[in-house]
Amino acid sequence: MSEVTLEDCQKNYQNALEQLDDSVSGMLANTHADVDVWLHAAISAIESCDSALVSRVGNDAELSEKNNIFLKLCKNALMINMRLNP
């Protein structure tokens, strides 16, 4: 895997982390529409990383698996947020 892919994934994970931090704040403030937007943004960031991994030679299976776990957790959080939103 190239250094560019790792750098892109690092930036995507940093972006996703910021979105998750915002989501936690939104959950505490009961701003469920905002939480939905931020969780979707986090998912999009990690999907971008995963796409970069798949498209490059030397696919990193371990990082790809971590992306899948991250995506499942974010999708679970989306479902919880939907249930909490009246």
pLDDT in tens, 28-41: 999 999 999 999 99
pTM over cut 0.75: yes
Question: Which H or E run includes 13?
Answer: helix 3-28
Give me the CATH code for the 3-84 domain, please: 1.20.58.80
HSE at residue 31, side-chain half, CA atoms within 13 A, is: 11
Q: What angle do CA 72, 57, 10 make, to 5 degrees?
A: 50
Q: φ and ψ at 56, to 5 degrees? A: -105, 155
pLDDT band at 57 (very low <50, low <70, confident <90, very high): low
